[in-house]
Structure 1
Amino acid sequence: MEVFALCAVVLLLICAMGMGLEAYKRRMDLREKEVELLAARTAEKAAQYAAGAERLEQRVRVLERIATDRAAQLAEAIDRVGDHAGEHNPALAGQIEALREARAN
């Protein structure tokens, strides 16, 4: 009888371990799918952030170009006005020269 009981216990343990192993495999498969899904979402967000950063860089380039173009145009206009005004008004010529020096610094 004791041998029969021992065999029954061993068989029950083997069955329980088999079921536990199967449950563990299912859990690992599910976890693997979750990780793959997370990786896909992360890659998608990274691509979106990269595209957004590229758009911002383009906008900054445009703004820099506008700012430098306007500054250059303004400098040319000041020079033209200054050249003509300085000929007729020496006091104004000194102020214009001070503005040019400030702009150069």
Structure 2
Amino acid sequence: MGELIPIVAIIFGCTIPMVAIWAKHKEKVAAMQVNTTAAATAEKAAQYASQVQRLEDRVQVLERIVTDKGYDVATQIEALRDTRTADQADAGVPLDLARKENV
């Protein structure tokens, strides 16, 4: 039994440093994963913010078109249809402006 004590001490003496090295390595890997995830999340957030800004700009343009030229656009479309030749006039679908104004 007395012979086993030095053998056990040698095994524990070698195992403890190896476990410490392995634990430190795992900690570094976890930190790298957190940094990678944070960078990817920040990049995604920037992409979404950019897309939202583009959509807001488009909505502002559409709002400006609707509020500034609302009925004028329909009048311009009808004027363009009136200027077409007779053979092209049958190909289009006329707007029913009277019905829209009554709604």
TM-score, with normalisation over the residues of structure 2?
0.69
Q: Identity of counterpart residues, as a percentage?
A: 12
Instruction: Give the secondary-structure state (helix, strand or coil) at the position aligned to 1:7.
Output: coil
The structure 1 segments of at least 4 consecutive aligned residues displaced by more than 3 Å after TM superposition are: 78-81
* Paired residues, number: 84
CA distance in 2 between counterparts of 1:33 and 1:70 reads 56
One-letter amino acid of the structure 1 residue matched with residue 99 of structure 2: A
CA distance in 1 between counterparts of 2:12 and 2:71 reads 87
TM-score, with normalisation over the residues of structure 1?
0.68
Cα–Cα, structure 1 residues 13 and 76, in superposed 2: closer, same or farther, change >3 Å? same
- Larger Rg over CA atoms: 1
The structure richer in helix per residue is 1
Match of 2:51 among 52, 56, 60: 56
Q: What residue is the counterpart of 1:16 in the other structure?
A: 11
Q: What residue is the counterpart of 1:26 in the other structure?
A: 21
CA distance in 1 between counterparts of 2:2 and 2:8 reads 10
CA distance in 1 between counterparts of 2:24 and 2:66 reads 63
Matched, 1:74 2:75: no
Structure 2: gaps (5+ residues): 77-95
Cα–Cα, structure 1 residues 80 and 30, in superposed 2: closer, same or farther, change >3 Å? same
Structure 1: gaps (5+ residues): 1-5, 82-94
